[in-house]
């Protein structure tokens, strides 16, 4: 890839709506949760950054599972209640085998640590805490050292910016402006108003001029409140139809 240019990495379309996206802090992978519009049962997809290739697909067969994280070679699921954000039920899925490594209906997930899950037995409202290792599902006593270690988070979000440089103020009908600092350049994102809605743009610049730019989405009915997230030099957008992820290298 040429320096200071924008290049599409992949575009991935799903039949159903995207409900959740999680990024693996240790691998160049994203986990996507979609749900059947009729049954609301979830399906989980693990995609590769490089080209959007699918390296795992898993269906738990019950609608009350949801993604809580993806770490190294493991997808972490928890159960959610109808009236509560969580209830007893944890699964660890091995991405390599696409099969559950650990399933329990005895514990409520409290937190995801690096290499461990911090859990509480369903019989307790306080206390009754344990650690479960991601690699084997073995149980261990709680350690303050371990629960203080959070997984790596490589996700960055652009910042709103209300003082556009001169080379951007010349753009007609520009709406909302976000900026993200790359290694030695800047990544700008903004909407422009059109007769049939809005176009969403990204542009790479130095301090003096735009080096490359492209339109990500055209004629969308309303502006995005948060247009993308970034991992290193790769950015990810969810289309306004909520069925599509588009990624660019910048």
Q: Read off the pLDDT of residues 46-104 as tens digits, 9 standing for 90 and up.
A: 999 999 999 999 999 999 999 999 999 999 999 997 777 778 999 999 999 999 999 99
Hey, what are 108's tokens? Answer: 């409520």
Residues 46 and 130 reside in one and the same domain: yes
User: Is residue 61 included in any domain, yes or no?
Assistant: yes
| 249 is a domain residue | no
Cβ distance 33 to 20 under 8 Å? Answer: yes
What is the structure's pLDDT at 3?
Answer: 78
**8 falls within a domain:** no
Please indicate, yes or no, if residue 69 is contained in any of the structural domains.
yes
3-state helix, strand, coil in the chain (%, to 5): 5, 55, 45
Residues 91 and 200 in one domain: no
Q: Are 26 and 110 found together in one domain?
A: yes
180 by DSSP, 3-state: which?
Answer: strand
The structural domain count of the chain equals 2
pLDDT in tens, 183-208: 899 999 999 988 889 999 999 999 99
Q: Is residue 108 located within the same domain as residue 199?
A: no
Helix (H, G, I), strand (E, B) or coil at 144: helix
* 138 and 174, same domain (yes or no): no
Q: Indicate whether 139 belongs to any domain.
A: yes
Mapping DSSP to helix (H, G, I), strand (E, B) and coil, where does residue 61 land?
Answer: coil
What the block records as the tokens of 91 is 């699964």
CATH number of the domain enclosing 110 = 2.40.128.630
Percent of the chain with pLDDT over 70: 96
CA dist 13 and 190 (Å) reads 24
Domain assignment of residue 242, yes or no: no
pLDDT of residue 23: 98
Check whether 164 has a pLDDT greater than 80. yes
Q: Residue 235: inside a domain, yes or no? A: no
46 in Cβ contact with 30 (< 8 Å):
yes
Tokens of 201: 């743009």
Same domain, 162 and 131: no
Question: Are 78 and 186 members of one domain?
Answer: no
Q: 127: pLDDT confidence band, cut at 50, 70 and 90?
A: confident
Instruction: Choose among 17, 136, 100, 215: nearest CA to 227.
Output: 215
Both 188 and 221 in a single domain? yes
**Average pLDDT of span 101-123:** 96
Arithmetic mean of pLDDT, 124-143? 95
Q: What are the backbone angles phi and psi of residue 123, rounded to the nearest 5°?
A: -80, -10
As a whole number of angstroms, the distance between CA 242 and CA 15 comes to: 10
Q: Lowest-pLDDT range, 15-29, 99-113, 185-199?
A: 185-199
Give the mean pLDDT of 19-43. 97
Can you give the residue range of the structural domain that contains 190? 158-227
């Amino acid at each position: 890839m040429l320096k200071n240019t924008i290049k599409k990495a992949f575009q991935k379309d799903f039949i159903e709506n995207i409900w959740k996206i999680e990024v693996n802090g240790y691998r160049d992978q994203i986990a996507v949760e979609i749900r059947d519009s009729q049954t609301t049962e979830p399906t989980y997809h693990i995609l590769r950054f490089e080209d959007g290739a699918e390296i795992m697909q898993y269906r738990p067969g019950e609608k009350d599972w949801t993604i809580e994280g993806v770490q190294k070679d493991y997808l972490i699921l928890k159960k959610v209640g109808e009236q509560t954000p969580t209830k007893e039920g944890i699964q660890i899925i091995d991405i390599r085998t696409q099969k559950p490594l650990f399933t329990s209906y005895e514990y409520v997930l409290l937190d995801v640590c690096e290499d461990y899950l911090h859990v509480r037995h369903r019989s307790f409202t306080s206390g009754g805490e344990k650690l479960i290792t991601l690699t084997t599902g073995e149980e261990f006593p709680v350690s303050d050292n371990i629960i203080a270690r959070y997984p790596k988070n490589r996700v960055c979000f652009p910042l709103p910016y209300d003082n556009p440089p001169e080379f951007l103020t010349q753009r007609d009908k520009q709406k909302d402006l976000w900026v993200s600092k790359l290694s030695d350049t800047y990544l700008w994102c903004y909407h422009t108003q059109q007769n049939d809605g809005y176009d969403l743009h990204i542009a790479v610049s130095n301090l003096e001029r735009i080096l490359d730019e492209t339109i990500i989405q055209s004629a969308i009915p309303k502006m995005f409140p948060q247009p993308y997230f970034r991992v290193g030099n790769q950015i990810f957008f969810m289309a306004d139809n909520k069925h599509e992820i588009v990624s660019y290298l910048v």
